[in-house]
């Protein structure tokens, strides 16, 4: 029932989840919910209207799409919490304020940028492996629509004109 509720509704706190479960006829304690969320590896993301919501980890060969309050479900939201964008060989490293890494990674993956393989997220960092031959300028241009101009302009001034090469050469 927890999986169904998290997938179908925007739930941002254990209290909200407990209320929804109660409507379904289940009475649970905060400790039980906390344990269940941990076992399910549930994460929190920030929605387009600035509220938090729980999401489930991706299941292999299944892509769960959560309802979003944006023009298109394939349009990532703007992430003002991004602090820096740097490159190291074939990696783009994006630093955020504490707690926003997962949300940013979710939106990067949602955008399906052809320059990036995928994302690896932490609490305040997102690492994006680049496809061989991707230009840093093109990657920076991709990020311009979802992170602050001050961050992308800084990255362009440092890394502009470079291309991702094979790291093992």
Do 155 and 89 belong to one domain?
yes
Residue span of the structural domain in which 51 resides = 2-55
Domain-located, residue 35: yes
Helix and strand tally (H, E) in the chain? Answer: 6, 6
Cβ contacts of residue 20 below 8 Å, gap of 6+?
Answer: 5, 9, 11
The structural domain count of the chain equals 2
Residue 153: Cβ within 10 Å count: 14
Where does a domain end: 55, 72, 96?
55
DSSP bridge partners of 121:
126
Where does a domain end: 39, 55, 71?
55
Domain-located, residue 62: no
Domain-located, residue 166: no
- Spatial contact of 147 and 85, defined as CB atoms under 8 Å apart: yes
Percent of the chain with pLDDT over 70: 82
Do 102 and 143 belong to one domain?
yes
Tokens of 161: 């004109």
Cα–Cα distance, 116 to 144 (Å, whole number): 15
1 against 80, higher pLDDT: 1
Domain-located, residue 77: no
Confidence of residue 168 (pLDDT cuts 50, 70, 90): low
Q: pLDDT tens digits, residue range 96-144? A: 988 888 888 988 988 889 999 999 999 899 999 999 888 999 999 999 9
Domain-located, residue 102: yes
Cα–Cα distance, 10 to 47 (Å, whole number): 9
Which CATH number do you get for residue 16? Answer: 1.10.10.10
Q: Tell if the pTM clears 0.85, that is, is over it.
A: no
Nearest alpha carbon to residue 124 among 98, 105, 146, 85: 98
Q: pLDDT tens digits, residue range 48-79? A: 666 678 888 765 444 555 444 433 444 556 77
Domain-located, residue 165: no
């Amino acid at each position: 029932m927890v999986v169904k509720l998290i997938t179908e509704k925007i739930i941002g706190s254990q209290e909200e989840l407990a209320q929804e479960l109660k409507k379904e006829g289940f009475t649970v304690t905060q400790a039980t919910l906390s344990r269940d969320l941990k076992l399910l590896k549930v994460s929190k993301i920030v929605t387009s209207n600035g509220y938090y919501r729980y999401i489930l980890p991706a299941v292999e060969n299944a892509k769960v799409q959560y309802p979003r309050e944006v023009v298109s479900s394939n349009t990532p939201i703007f992430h003002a919490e991004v602090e820096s964008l740097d490159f190291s060989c074939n990696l783009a490293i994006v630093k955020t304020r504490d707690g926003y890494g997962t949300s940013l990674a979710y939106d990067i993956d949602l955008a399906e940028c052809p320059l990036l393989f995928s994302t690896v997220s932490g609490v305040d960092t997102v690492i994006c492996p680049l496809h061989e031959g991707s230009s840093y300028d093109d990657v920076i241009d991709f990020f311009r629509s979802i992170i602050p101009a001050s961050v992308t302009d800084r990255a362009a001034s440092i890394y502009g004109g470079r291309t991702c090469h094979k790291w093992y050469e």
